Amino acid sequence: MNPTMPMSEGTLTVACIQNCAVKDTESGLTEATALAREARNSGAELICFPEFCHQLFIDGDTFETGAAPQDSHPALLRMQDLARELNVWLLVGSLAIRGDSGKDHNRSFLIDSHGTIIAHYDKIHMFDVTLGNGETYRESARFEPGKKAVVADMPWGGIGLTVCYDLRFASLYRSLAQHGASMITVPAAFTHTTGKAHWHVLLRSRAIETGSYIIAPCQYGTHGKARTYGHSLIVDPWGEIIAEAGEQAATIAATLDLSRVADARQRIPSLEHDRPFSF
């Protein structure tokens, strides 16, 4: 465990925004920020957006996500202004950030209520898959994979940052929990094909394995030739779903009792039971 990370305590009201980003950046941002204002009016203290929440359009080799440098990214600046306006913490699921290698970064941002970027995380695992029926994705052709896991300190405790396809790599989540995360975010644009099969079981599994709250805002709808699943979820440390959206624009919210993290980890202390092994 990370000895510098404070123990999780108290309660935190979290909201997930479920929007449908398209080719037009303004359309995506308008829908997402309107939903965020609704969530804040309902008492949310942390509002979480999906992956590529401001722009997403896929058509064969065309993959439009509105990439820009971090210091001048219009969507990031808007989100910082929104955090200050609403006096709320924001998890910007991800934005495409220009990199130095010729590729972009799929980058998630944690922003405090003053509009300050507290932490950012570059998606480690690239979605390079062939699902059949002509549905093929090659994220690594456009994006540089991240190399560093991130646990950020919030007033309520540690929060681990992940993005979408990371969900399938259980060791990352275990490591985040062992380094102080009591909450883990999974902003996503999960495909409808894989979402129907795997979304719920994977998110519940990650919660159970780590004894953490899992916060998973997901896009819905069509984005060119791609279709995303929706069903944004909040899952408690025992693996129970405590909030879920459908397949339309929505906000979902739940009040997290962070003492339940310690309780779950005491009941099943598997994070302390790793043992070396060989083949």
Catalytic one among 16, 20, 53, 164? 164
CA 253 to chain centre: 15
pLDDT of residue 96: 97
Catalytic one among 16, 64, 123, 218? 123
134 versus 57: the higher-pLDDT residue is: 57
The DSSP element (H or E) to which 201 belongs, if any, is helix 200-210
Catalytic one among 16, 45, 48, 51? 51
At 4, the pLDDT band (50, 70, 90 cuts) reads very low
For 111-170, the pLDDT digits (tens) are: 999 999 999 999 999 998 888 777 788 899 899 999 999 999 999 999 999 999 999 999
CATH fold label, 11-267: Nitrilase/N-carbamoyl-D-aminoacid amidohydrolase (3.60.110)
pLDDT of residue 132: 75
75 neighbors 257 (Cβ within 8 angstroms): no
75 neighbors 95 (Cβ within 8 angstroms): yes
pTM of the model: 0.95
For tokens 């719920």, what's the residue? 200
45 given a catalytic annotation: no
Helix, coil or strand: residue 165: helix
Backbone conformation region of residue 153, classed left if phi is above 0, alpha if psi is from -120 to 50, else beta: beta
247 given a catalytic annotation: no
d(CA 110, CA 7): 19
51 given a catalytic annotation: yes
For tokens 């979408």, what's the residue? 164
For 107-118, the pLDDT digits (tens) are: 999 999 999 999
Domain range list for the chain: 11-267
